Amino acid sequence: MAVESLTGRLLVATPALRDPNFERTVVLLLAHERGGALGVVLNRATEMPVSDIEALGGWADRASDPGVVFEGGPVQPEAAICLARVRPEREIRGVTRVAGPVCSVNLPAGPDDVDEGIEGVRVFSGYAGWEAGQLESEIDTGSWLVFDGLPGDAFFPRPDDLWSMVLRRQGGLLAAIALFPSDPSLN
């Protein structure tokens, strides 16, 4: 059976997903194939400025607001993944398209090796990963909702608001989920 690729789509955690690594998260899937999936959490900003990480060199100058490192997920937190927003009409060397103007960046290449078509970057520490069939099972059991993203989602300047914003723009009953309290026992 062929699996429809969800690469470039958003996973939005439902209130039923209580894993602290993913509670109320929005994940951009960077890769989804038969062998598994990989993505980054878009709405977990840290307080560490990108400029504090020496290994990232000149990338800090291109960091989108807020210019901090994001917790991309629990897998390999020592690894850095960088997303860039590029001008849609440009073909940019040193990047791989994920969806529309959103690309992953070859960080070792350095910002001087990447074309001027980059409008902003966001750096993630770690990533989210799923083995073959695991993500599909989590979607089927109601842990995740899958939506098309907007080009600005990966670079949203108020990451704490992204989860509810993505749900609200779906309309109807899905928009009501955005109002679900983080701790229903306090309701």
pLDDT in tens, 29-67: 999 999 999 999 999 999 999 999 887 777 888 888 899
**Are 179 and 146 contacting, i.e. CB atoms less than 8 angstroms apart?**
no
3-state secondary structure of 68: strand
CA-derived radius of gyration, the chain: 16
pLDDT by residue (tens digit) across 15-35? 999 899 999 999 999 999 999
- pLDDT at res. 75: 97
Domain segments of the chain as ranges: 10-186
pLDDT at position 1 is 45
CA-to-CA separations, 109 to 59, 60, 106, 132, 184, in angstroms, rounded: 11, 14, 6, 30, 47
Architecture of domain 10-186 in this structure = 3-Layer(aba) Sandwich (3.40)
- Give which of 38, 25, 34, 29 is closest to 10, Cα–Cα: 29
Yes or no: say if 62 and 155 are a contact pair by the CB < 8 Å rule: no
Q: What are 87-121's pLDDT values in tens digits?
A: 766 677 778 889 989 999 887 777 776 767 788 89
* Terminal Cα-to-Cα distance of the chain (whole angstroms): 43
Statement: residue 122 has pLDDT above 70: yes
User: How high does pLDDT run on average in the chain?
Assistant: 89
Can you tell me the distance from the alpha carbon of 65 to that of 99, in angstroms, rounded to the nearest whole number?
Answer: 20
Predicted TM-score (pTM) of this structure: 0.92
